[in-house]
Structure 1
């Protein structure tokens, strides 16, 4: 014997029927705190701040990045071509 029961209700109604607590106020409070923390620290993740952080680690890092990009683009080649 097989019995199927379909219940049409919202998630809130199901939680109330099962006796589960309403966590919506707690979720809203946590989201507000999270948004506040993110807004406070957004400047730390700007491209300028990240590059500044990288370059203060090693003073020669800017020169190394420049050399790397020059070599990757082929501009760092010595200019000699194989002549046949």
Structure 2
């Protein structure tokens, strides 16, 4: 025997029926606070500093790769001798 029950209700109705708390006001307050903090931090940072914070490995990695290519080019493609 197979019984299927379809319930058509909104998330609010399901939450109320199951006795779960309504956390929407708390979520909205927290999101507003996070938004305010992010906006304040973005205005306080300079663009160059932001890029260094957001892309530390990418930018430094590209600089390292570029230095490696130039050193190989300058040495004629020969690997430097290890000590």
- Bin the TM-score by the shorter chain: 0.5 to 0.7
Structure 1 residue matching 2:73: 3-state secondary structure: coil
Structure 2 residue matching 1:7: 3-state secondary structure: coil
Counterpart for residue 32 of structure 1 = 32
Task: Give aligned pairs, total.
Answer: 66
List aligned pairs for 1:12-51, cutoff 5 A. Answer: 12-42=12-42, 43-44=44-45, 46=47, 48-49=48-49, 50=52
Structure 2 residue corresponding to 1:78, chosen from 55, 74, 78: 74
Bigger Rg, which one: 1
Which ranges of 4 or more aligned residues in structure 1 deviate by more than 4 Å? none
Give TM-score scaled by structure 1 length: 0.57
Distance 1:71 1:4 in 2: 66
Give TM-score scaled by structure 2 length: 0.58
Distance 2:35 2:7 in 1: 36
**Structure 1: runs of 5 or more not aligned:** 55-64
Distance 1:27 1:71 in 2: 49
